[in-house]
Amino acid sequence: MKRTHSCGALRASDINQSVVLFGWVQNRRDHGELIFIDLRDRDGLTQIVFDPNVNKEAHALAEQMRSEWVIGVQGKVRSRGMQWNKKENKEVSATNPNLATGEIEVVVSDATVFNRSETPPFQISEHVTASEELRLEHRYLDLRRSNLQATLITRSKMNALTREYMVKQGFLELETPYMGKYTPGGARNFLVPSRLNPGKFYALAESPQLYKQLFMVAGFDRYYQIVKCFRDEDLRLDRQPEFTQIDVEMSFVSQDDVFGIIEGLIKKLWGEILKVDVPTPFRRMDFYESMEKYGNDKPDLRFGLEHVVLTDLIKAQGAAAGVPMMEEAVEKGGIVKAMCIPAQYPLSRAESDKLEEYVKGMGAGGLARAKVGETGEWTQSPLAKTINPTLRQAINAKCGAKPGDLLLFQFGREAQVHTIMANLRVHVAKKLKLIPEYGSGGVWNFLWVVNPPLFEFDEETKTWAAAHHAFTRPHDDCVQYLETDPGKVKCWRYDVVLNGFEIGGGSIRLHDPEVQGRVFKALGIGEKEAKEKFGFLLDALKFGAPPHGGIALGMDRLAMLLSNAESLRDVIPFPKTQKGTDLMTCAPGDVDEKQLRDLSVKSTVAPK
RNA sequence: GGGGAGUUAGUUCAGCUGGUUAGAACGUCGGCCUGUCACGCCGAAGGUCAGGGGUUCAAGUCCCCUACUCCUCGCCA
């Protein structure tokens, strides 16, 4: 027997053809005489019928068949249009409109069993939801489910479309090493001990960042790569220790050129995969605006509930404000933020108490609330009695609060207030069903977040640190502040955001050695240290480096959003758990003493 | 490292303020059935209540520890 069709191929136009199908038994419906089996492969389902009047042996074999057996059948394609129904004593339509092949069935004249199957630990079905733990343990079975197959097929399409697009735009696909030199700063690296160089280690690349800049120095002009990256940080819903980037770098370009290329790519991916027309250019938002209104640099713009910063209002009232906790926060250099939940989305006392629990989980002291009354007075709030009425009206006005609205407040350390309010905003939006729990809801709000600061002040070490990396080009009109006021220096860094997910980020690089030296100085990195850490790149920049810049898109996140998946794990064939383990292979695993000796490595963990 | 949720039949879950034999659905196995399509009907088997310790006359249920899974803060330039 040789397979003639896939299980998703046959249509009414194939009726009367003799065909051979191979596949897995999805489902068996035994009527004593007739036996129906849904035969499955990655292309779809086809109903096959065993009739003892057609072939007794095949029918007997079908009585034995069970879920997930791998079989082959030969037979004739027959219409399911009108079939004799004994119960009703007349011909009745038996088509299945839920199936692409529902117009037809294959009457089996010959059948072979290629392999039997044990009863699987969970049913291979879209209807049954086994726990993720069990599914990961038997990932090869989970991957038989059609929705997981669909996401991986979508990924494959993304790869093909990306390559097609990038090649057409004149990009070269160039490879970079995974095993490189450890560079401090940034994400924690996975280390690989070197057997040939005892005591020394490679680091797995957290991104091809430095290499792709060297490609520009070498004159390749336009580089891209679909590449694995490795980061040894804690996992999240949208973070895996190994993940894939669409990595891009270009010479002689401005920020707008990079945006144009990426907008074109996303337009193509969304257009061809989802048949959705994404309008370009994308909206742009200043980093500071994003922090102020949304509390982070990856705002979900599918809904409102914008934050309002009240710090200045409270400062202006001085000692007369009547909100001692907020005043104290402001005095200590912190900020005060509010969020207004409109009256049309009423929250019960129990619900708003739950919100308080939620923010406390993020380290908040509590969640101050105030219900706005008919004349702008506050009720149901500990602030109501003491607050200066002028301040209260000013806050109402600034928040656009109307009678019946609920105001939520956070105050304290700036970074923490932003984080808590950012998470609270999304949390509330989901609760109020302004956005779905996961997935786009059919709304695709792309956004560039631009002009962030080059440096961040590290509260712990009391020093300035690179907000992204030390090779980002500052705005020309900010270079003057490098020495005097580093916090004021904005740079050519950009993130592309979709529905609250950072799907990519990049920058225009710093190719001027003079400014580079000043940036290092601001970071407290001496010449010697810079040479040790980034020597090869700094050397390379001395030999005629073109102005260049680039970006990297998170391929897994794109795939997750494109296929409305709940988690990154659903678009990665073999993902890891939150502790970075693989439940199927049990990686990471033990190695024996000899292997360690060969690598000149000693474990400090006592053997069990 | 911190906070939260969870772990009961092969699977998904229920199991109240501690109380006699731990239930349901799906799956599995057996029987019946020529038009089903998540077929239907009848019957059966199936449990270390995650592991360990404690409180109690009595623990799936209360307490402590450990493991694992998920969400999250920190972290991810």
User: How many of the other CB atoms lie within 10 Å of CB of A436?
Assistant: 14
Nearest nt to the CA of A458 via C1' is B77
Distances in Å between the Cα of A138 and the Cα atoms of A9, A43, A69, A198, A585 are 29, 22, 17, 38, 10
Q: How many CA atoms lie within 13 A of A167 on its CB side?
A: 8
Q: Find where tokens 């079905």 sit.
A: A125
Burial A142-179 (b: 16+ CB within 10 A, else e): bbbbbebeebbebbeebeebbeebbeeeebeebebebe
Tokens of A179: 């095993």
> Which of A85-94, A137-146, A318-327, A460-469 shows the highest mean pLDDT?
A137-146
Residue A308 DSSP code: E
* Amino acid A352: pLDDT: 86
- Rounded to whole angstroms, the Cα distance separating A393 from A72 reads 77
**pLDDT band, very low/low/confident/very high, at A85 (cuts 50, 70, 90):** confident
The reply to whether the CB atom of residue A236 sits less than 7 A from any atom in nucleic acid chain B is yes
* Helix, coil or strand: residue A14: helix
pLDDT at residue A84 tops 80: no
3-state secondary structure A234-282: CCECCECCEEEEEEEEEECCCHHHHHHHHHHHHHHHHHHHHCCCCCCCC
- Rounded to whole angstroms, the Cα distance separating A171 from A138 reads 39
Tokens of A507: 């920058």
Q: How far in angstroms lies nucleotide B10's C1' from the CA of residue A119?
A: 8
- Rounded to whole angstroms, the Cα distance separating A598 from A157 reads 43
Q: How far in angstroms lies nucleotide B31's C1' from the CA of residue A102?
A: 31
* Amino acid A126: pLDDT: 82
Q: Kindly report, residue by residue over A180-191, the tens digit of the pLDDT.
A: 998 877 899 999
* Helix, coil or strand: residue A412: strand
* Amino acid A128: pLDDT: 66
Nearest nt to the CA of A468 via C1' is B77
Amino acid at A394: A
Strand B, CB < 7 A, residues 130-169 of A: 130-134
- Rounded to whole angstroms, the Cα distance separating A320 from A314 reads 9
Residue A98 DSSP code: T
| Protein residue closest via CA to C1' of B32 | A32
Q: How far in angstroms lies nucleotide B5's C1' from the CA of residue A435?
A: 22
The reply to whether the CB atom of residue A94 sits less than 7 A from any atom in nucleic acid chain B is yes
| Protein residue closest via CA to C1' of B39 | A29
Q: Kindly report, residue by residue over A135-151, the tens digit of the pLDDT.
A: 999 999 999 999 899 99
- Rounded to whole angstroms, the Cα distance separating A178 from A228 reads 8
CA proximity to A209, closest of A572, A512, A505 = A505
Residue A488 DSSP code: G
* Amino acid A319: pLDDT: 81
Mean pLDDT of A247-274: 97
Q: What's phi and psi for A168, nearest 5 deg?
A: -65, -30
The reply to whether the CB atom of residue A89 sits less than 7 A from any atom in nucleic acid chain B is no
The reply to whether the CB atom of residue A92 sits less than 7 A from any atom in nucleic acid chain B is yes
Contact indicator for A479, A420 with CB cutoff of 8 Å: no
- Rounded to whole angstroms, the Cα distance separating A426 from A252 reads 39
Q: Find where tokens 């896939």 sit.
A: A6
Q: How far in angstroms lies nucleotide B30's C1' from the CA of residue A64?
A: 13
pLDDT at residue A317 tops 90: no
Mean pLDDT of A403-426: 93
Q: What's phi and psi for A124, nearest 5 deg?
A: -85, 85
Strand B, CB < 7 A, residues 462-501 of A: 465-470
Distances in Å between the Cα of A361 and the Cα atoms of A407, A410, A500, A558, A576 are 20, 14, 21, 29, 25
Q: Note the ipTM here.
A: 0.92
pTM surpassing 0.95? no
Q: Which of A84-98, A268-282, A376-390 has the lowest mean pLDDT?
A: A84-98
Contact indicator for A138, A120 with CB cutoff of 8 Å: yes
pLDDT at residue A466 tops 90: no
The reply to whether the CB atom of residue A212 sits less than 7 A from any atom in nucleic acid chain B is no
The reply to whether the CB atom of residue A100 sits less than 7 A from any atom in nucleic acid chain B is no
* Amino acid A365: pLDDT: 86
CA proximity to A216, closest of A244, A168, A258 = A258
Q: How many CA atoms lie within 13 A of A396 on its CB side?
A: 21
- Rounded to whole angstroms, the Cα distance separating A270 from A369 reads 41
Residue A343 DSSP code: T
